[in-house]
């Protein structure tokens, strides 16, 4: 067999879009970015929706289509397991699986108080169950492609960057291990942490 033809079949390995942990903003930096992304000269429902979308994409680590599918009834409290009400639970439908599955994400009232204030403000300001309805009447949702473009234009980051950021910060700042991350993100294998959690030599300080 011609060796030249063989070499043409070999595909170059794809580089990961995020090779360095230093590229991942901290949770405080994500907070500032999200709170400042709304164009304040336009006080419209759509402006608040983009801000809410970025906030929920980061907090839940969900895909943009999964966040667009959320409604007000997706947010609940668990009085039996959390009698003090320290957490708000977001129930997310996982859309990439063959069967419909749900995962619950905890939002800490103390650590993520800024986000809960933003969410509650939206709930109070705009009626209707659907958070991301196109026209405010729950008849049609904002399209995934439209959301992708707006998030990229406003933050400079692609939508999946928020998933990488949340996973990395959960380990880096909150001390979650691979088991915790699997439960939070709905992953089936620990291998997924090697894709979404970005580490560098700085994590070794104080350990060696």
pLDDT in tens, 160-206: 899 999 999 999 899 899 999 999 998 888 898 888 988 876 666 76
Q: Which domain holds residue 31?
A: 22-70+119-198
Q: Check residue 140 and give its pLDDT.
A: 86
- The span from the CA of 117 to the CA of 77, in Å, is 16
Q: Does 12 map to a domain?
A: no
Q: Check residue 204 and give its pLDDT.
A: 67
What mean pLDDT is predicted for residues 51-69? 94
Number of Cβ atoms within 10 Å of the Cβ of 98: 5
Q: Does 167 map to a domain?
A: yes
User: What CATH code is carried by the domain that includes residue 51?
Assistant: 1.10.443.10
Q: Check residue 10 and give its pLDDT.
A: 43
pLDDT in tens, 15-59: 454 456 678 899 999 999 999 988 776 678 999 999 999 999 999
Coil, strand or helix: which one is 133? strand
- Cα angle vertex 120, ends 118, 121, to 5°? 65
- The number of distinct structural domains making up the chain is 1
Q: Does 109 map to a domain?
A: no
Q: Write out the DSSP string of 75-120.
A: EE--TTT-TT--EEEEEEEE-SSSS-EEEEEEEETTTTHHHHHHHH
Q: Does 180 map to a domain?
A: yes
Percent of the chain's residues with pLDDT above 70: 83
Q: Does 128 map to a domain?
A: yes
């Amino acid at each position: 067999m011609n060796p030249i033809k063989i070499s043409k079949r070999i595909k170059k390995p794809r580089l990961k879009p995020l090779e360095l942990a230093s590229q991942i903003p901290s949770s405080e930096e994500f907070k500032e970015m999200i709170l400042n992304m709304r164009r304040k000269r336009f006080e419209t429902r759509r402006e608040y929706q983009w801000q809410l979308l970025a906030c929920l994409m980061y907090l839940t680590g969900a895909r943009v289509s999964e966040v667009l599918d959320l409604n007000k009834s997706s947010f609940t409290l668990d009085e039996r397991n959390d009698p003090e009400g320290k957490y708000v639970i977001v129930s997310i439908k996982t859309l990439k699986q063959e069967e419909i599955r749900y995962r619950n994400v905890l939002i800490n009232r103390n650590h993520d108080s800024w986000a809960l204030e933003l969410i509650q403000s939206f709930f109070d300001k705009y009626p209707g169950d659907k958070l991301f309805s196109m026209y405010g009447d729950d008849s049609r949702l904002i399209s995934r492609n439209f959301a992708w473009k707006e998030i990229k234009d406003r933050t400079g980051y692609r939508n999946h960057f928020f998933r990488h950021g949340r996973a990395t910060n959960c380990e880096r700042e909150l001390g979650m291990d691979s088991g915790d991350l699997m439960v939070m993100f709905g992953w089936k294998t620990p291998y997924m942490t090697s894709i979404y959690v970005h580490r560098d030599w700085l994590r070794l300080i104080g350990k060696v």
